[in-house]
Amino acid sequence: MPQERITRHKFVRFTYRIVEPESGRVLEQVDLPIAYVHGADSGLLERLERALEGKVVGDQVEVLVPPEEAFGPHDPALTYTDDIENVPPQFRHVGAEVEMMNDAGDVRTFIVSKIENGKLTVDGNHPLAGKTLRYIVQVQEVRDATPQEIREGRPGMAGPVLH
């Protein structure tokens, strides 16, 4: 029996790694399969979805994705530096997450990215913003999506979708 190929309205489950192209350093690895419905406006990166077209279980796909198609460019306006004394003690370490609200009431999470010379820097950009990334995807399952999955654009019992 031939294997099912990834085409429109197929349920697809895969694992992936995100690798820094220059160094080969693994930035993110997901071993618990993620699922989506192919061609159903699932929110999967478009370049990645195109690369998966026609693949079968066991196939591995590598895709180079520029910042504008992944997490966007790094926005310097989302990086702030202040004297460390102006920051509450619980946030005075690299990696601390700080929620801030703007005048419009929008909340964004900032991460303490640097502390030096009595100054603390927080960054509201996604940690992978501004980077070209290599996605290495391993196809785990391909089947017909149910009518409900097609309508909703996502599997009924799946985890997060890769954005």
Q: Please state the separation of Cα 123 from the chain's center in Å.
A: 17
Task: Name the H helices within 8-125.
Answer: 46-52
Instruction: Give the residue numbers spanning the domain of 118.
Output: 76-123
Evaluate the CA torsion angle 6, 10, 15, 20 in order and state its sign. Answer: positive
Instruction: State the Cα–Cα distance between residues 25 and 78, nearest whole angstrom.
Output: 25
Q: Would you say residue 2 lies in a domain?
A: no
- pLDDT tens string 63-110: 999 999 999 999 999 999 999 999 999 999 999 999 988 889 989 899
Q: Do 146 and 67 have their domain in common?
A: yes
Q: What confidence tier does 157 reach under pLDDT thresholds 50, 70, 90?
A: low
Q: How many domains does the chain have?
A: 2
CATH of the domain at 109: 2.40.10.330
